[in-house]
Structure 1
Amino acid sequence: MNFKDLTNKALISDQDIDWEDLGAGVKRKIMAYDNALMLVKVAFEKDAIGTIHNHPHLQMSYVAKGSFEVTMGDDKKVLNEGDVFFAPTMVFHGVICLEAGLLIDIFNPHREDFLK
């Protein structure tokens, strides 16, 4: 692979990627991925819900903006800008957006279901 090919995949401008409207005040941008890793921006309007779910992927989420009530298994905690949550494989988790916000989600491996 030459440098130009690598640069096209490695240097990504936010403005070049459209938001995908998921409905109910939630939208996402798949910023980058390969087989092992995926980074996704997820924007929430106030009171929007990231429904409780689980998946086989490891997930780390960084609260880039706003405030979220995060449920992880049997635990709940309010997380704010700069905070992080980690969702291990198959652990049920979800969020309620308390103040309009943005999560930066990282998955291992990538979420094939997001690409369909």
Structure 2
Amino acid sequence: MKSIVTKENAVKRQFLGVDFVVLSIGEKSMVTKMLYKTTDFVPFHQHPNEQSGYVISGEYILKYGHEEFKLTEGDTYSIPANIEHSIEIVVAGEVVDVFTPIRQDYI
């Protein structure tokens, strides 16, 4: 586990067809940067990780609970663990996500 990761050493991954980069992994959390394309769609799913995000660029529709949220540059969100959610990509862009605990399926 490294506490400093340079952009050249960030690990590129893909999950559900979405490209992303693992930026850092701590003892109890991880930071990723999602690289969303307009052809991406993340269907309803849930995981045992709390997920908090910051929209760097793009436009998204986040659905969880019985609500729908439009997210654009500068917006943030937190999704509790084990809550079904989905994201529709309206305009391609990047989102930084923090997961607690670490998502083992992203390593």
TM-based fold match above 0.5 = yes
Distance 1:65 1:40, change over 3 A: same
Could you say which structure has the larger radius of gyration? 1
Show structure 1 runs of 5+ residues with no match.
1-7
State the distance in 2 between where 1:22 and 1:89 align: 18
Contact 1:47 1:98 (8 Å CA) reproduced:
no
Which sections of structure 2, spanning at least 5 residues, go unmatched?
none
* 1:8-41, Cα deviation, whole Å (9 max, x unpaired): 92222112224224464x2011111123110011
Q: Which has the higher helix share?
A: 1
Looking at structure 2, the residues matched to 56 and 21 of structure 1 have their Cα atoms a distance apart, in angstroms, of 19
Amino acid at match of 1:15: E
Alignment CA distance shift 1:18-1:55 (3 Å): closer
Moved over 6 A (4+): none
User: Structure 1 length normalisation: TM-score?
Assistant: 0.83
1:52 is displaced (CA, Å) by 1.2
Tell me the equivalent position of 1:113: 105
SS in 2 for 1:94: strand
Which one-letter code corresponds to 2:29 in the other structure?
A: L
Identity %: 23
- Can you list the C-alpha shifts for 1:43-95, whole angstroms capped at 9, x where unaligned? 11114212211111111011111000110211001100110111101111111
- Per the normalisation by structure 2, the TM-score is 0.89
Q: Superposition pairs for residues 1-20 of structure 1, below 5 Å?
A: 9-20=2-13
How many residues are aligned here?
107
